[in-house]
Amino acid sequence: MKSETFAADRYDRMTYRRCGRSGLMLPAIALGGWHNFTQRDAAFAMMKAAFDQGVTHFDLANNYGPPPGRAEKVVGRLLRDHFRGHRDELIVSSKAGYLMWPGPYGEWGSRKHLIASCEQSLRRLRLDYVDIFYSHRPDDQTPMEETVGTLDQLVRQGKALYAGVSNYSGAATRHANELLRGMGTPLLIHQPRYHMLDRRIEDDLLPVTDELGIGVIVFSPLAQGLLTEKYLDAIPADSRASDPSSPFLRPEQVTEQVRDKVRRLQPIAAERNQSIAQLAVSWILRDARITSVLIGARTVEQVAQNVAALEAEPVSGEHLQRIEAILSQ
């Protein structure tokens, strides 16, 4: 199948940031594929829109679906059918650590699970290697030496170019980095949750990654939709929070206190000619210690709106002080 034609000026449209003290530059906005990448046509529309805007990083995990593995299969076909000839322009990442198959080897951080997961991900993605392979969550029952030693092995085998971790504490990240450096495979990047309503990494993780020269790409920048106009007045019937079976946002998280904070952020966003979501992205990128914001868009329009956040001036001065006053209450 013929490779797709993409915008010739795509690299002029994106800001790229160095990932820690590595040689790798990543786009300030990356596109994640989870429940939003289960349908081929929709996933392609978002990937094309993102790449046309200079988004070169597509982030996945073995368990993204449903069912688990579905997102990687969809992206694998799209890479083959539409991005042929562009592989070296892309960063494709995946992860392992959450439940994928029954039995004692189907999850966590053992060598058995990580190697099997990586091999399966490569088959689904139809790739010889991923650019970044993550340990998706810490495993207190498996020696850290085994988990990160497996990341080192996968890099040395050429099945991944870089090693990453996700959801690790600051102390665990320091330990993982120390072990990996001793093996000769530096820890490239950490992927934590971070947004205006969840700032735990500011005191625990970011000082460590900054000291050690590790990049940071944050997920859930919009707090599952809380940092948008969607929940300002009520929980919409078609929203994630209205679905009792949803693994994402729960109704009890949509509190009046949260709504009040978001309402008070709205005038600041308006002064900056931004939506609340765009302000949330700009606020994260105010911190030079953060490499990228990982968006989980569900439509082409959401991709465009998130990337457009980069057009605004950095959040600073009076706006930053007013935001801090709101968030600290």
Q: What is the DSSP string of 139-204?
A: -TTS-HHHHHHHHHHHHHTTSEEEEEEES--HHHHHHHHHHHHHHT--EEEEE-B-BTTB-THHHH
The answer to whether position 76 is within a domain reads yes
pTM: 0.95
What CATH number should be reported for the domain holding residue 293?
3.20.20.100
Number of structural domains, the chain? Answer: 1
117 three-class SS:
helix
The answer to whether position 95 is within a domain reads yes
The answer to whether position 269 is within a domain reads no
What does the H/E/C string look like for 247-262? Answer: CCCCHHHCCHHHHHHH
Which pair of structure tokens corresponds to residue 108? 């966590």
Query: Can you give the pLDDT at residue 253?
Result: 77
The answer to whether position 212 is within a domain reads yes
Query: Can you give the pLDDT at residue 252?
Result: 74
Which pair of structure tokens corresponds to residue 218? 């944050």
The answer to whether position 243 is within a domain reads no
Exposed/middle/buried for residue 321 (C-beta within 10 Å: 0-12, 13-18, 19+) = exposed
Ordered per-residue pLDDT tens for the chain, 329 residues: 556 799 999 999 999 999 999 999 999 999 999 989 999 999 999 999 999 999 999 999 999 999 999 999 999 999 999 999 999 999 999 999 999 999 999 999 999 999 999 999 999 999 999 999 999 999 999 999 999 999 999 999 999 999 999 999 999 999 999 999 999 999 999 999 999 999 999 999 999 999 999 999 999 999 999 999 988 876 665 656 556 666 667 677 788 999 999 999 999 999 999 999 999 999 999 999 999 999 999 999 999 999 999 999 999 999 999 999 999 98
Domain hosting 140: range is: 10-223+287-314
The answer to whether position 275 is within a domain reads no
Query: Can you give the pLDDT at residue 255?
Result: 87
The answer to whether position 234 is within a domain reads no
Query: Can you give the pLDDT at residue 78?
Result: 97
Query: Can you give the pLDDT at residue 247?
Result: 61
Contacts of 139 (CB under 8 A, 6+ apart): 97, 108, 109, 110, 147
The answer to whether position 206 is within a domain reads yes
Cis bond leading into 247, ω under 30°? no
